[in-house]
Chain A
Amino acid sequence: NAGVMQNPRHLVRRRGQEARLRCSPVKGHSHVYWYRQLPEEGLKFMVYLQKENIIDESGMPKERFSAEFPKEGPSILRIQQVVRGDSAAYFCASSPRDENTEAFFGQGTRLTVV
């Protein structure tokens, strides 16, 4: 799991600003997942992406949140006009394929909205 790189590790934003979270998957992995973990709660699925495609975004809030995984470069989770309720740990995970394969997690980005 050390191969999944997330940055920044900690991010502080004022209400109304934009937050951009980056995730570089393990080399060779083409599947990326984003999860959110609110304080004292479990992991909640947000979005599943393959290169240049959003496969499942059923866990994404309808507004302000978007994700991409371009052909080149890291996956980006973008939160516009952040609110205090967005404060959480955001974990990215990657896998080489989408069947019967465990996900390897990055260290997470801890977003604090002040």
Chain B
Amino acid sequence: QKEVEQNSGPLSVPEGAIASLNCTYSDRVSQSFFWYRQYSGKSPELIMSIYSNGDKEDGRFTAQLNKASQYVSLLIRDSQPSDSATYLCAVNNFNAGKSTFGDGTTLTVKP
């Protein structure tokens, strides 16, 4: 089992729809969770971080964390073609001192 698993995609949604990206992790003691966006040929950029159970909203983005289920998700409302990218879920373990990344989900938003 991979430490961090994401829905394999690719995911395609029409412009204006909600895109839902999911991530599960295996290490129960993980403390912090991040979503990165990576455009083709570019480096990953942080878009959301979440540390406690529940929802965290930032503009059109909402991160949801459920530690009991070891699940973190990212919702993108009113999806735009510019949201088309690969979204990477990363999980931090304090003891490990590093972020473990999922393989990413490629999202395409069609005009």
Checking B43, B49, B88, B92 against A108 with a beta-carbon cut-off of 8 angstroms, the contacting residue is B43
Checking B32, B43, B94, B100 against A91 with a beta-carbon cut-off of 8 angstroms, the contacting residue is B43
Interface residues of A (CB under 8 A from B): 1, 31, 33, 35, 41-45, 48, 55-56, 91, 93, 98-108
SS class of chain B's interface: helix, strand, loop or mixed? strand
Counting residue pairs across A and B whose Cβ atoms lie within 8 Å, the total is: 64
Checking B43, B49, B92 against A106 with a beta-carbon cut-off of 8 angstroms, the contacting residue is B43
- Bound together, the chains give a CA A62 to CA B21 distance in angstroms of 34
CB atoms of B97 and A55 under 8 A apart: yes
B interface residue count range (under 10 / 10 to 19 / 20 to 34 / 35 or more): 20 to 34
CB atoms of A99 and B31 under 8 A apart: yes
CB atoms of B44 and A43 under 8 A apart: yes
Checking A56, A102, A105 against B49 with a beta-carbon cut-off of 8 angstroms, the contacting residue is A102
Q: Nearest CB to that of B96 among chain A residues?
A: A56
- Bound together, the chains give a CA A55 to CA B98 distance in angstroms of 10
Q: Nearest CB to that of B35 among chain A residues?
A: A102
- Bound together, the chains give a CA A98 to CA B95 distance in angstroms of 9
- Binary flags per residue of B75-105, CB closer than 8 Å to A gives 1, else 0: 0000000000000101010101111111110
Q: Nearest CB to that of A1 among chain B residues?
A: B45
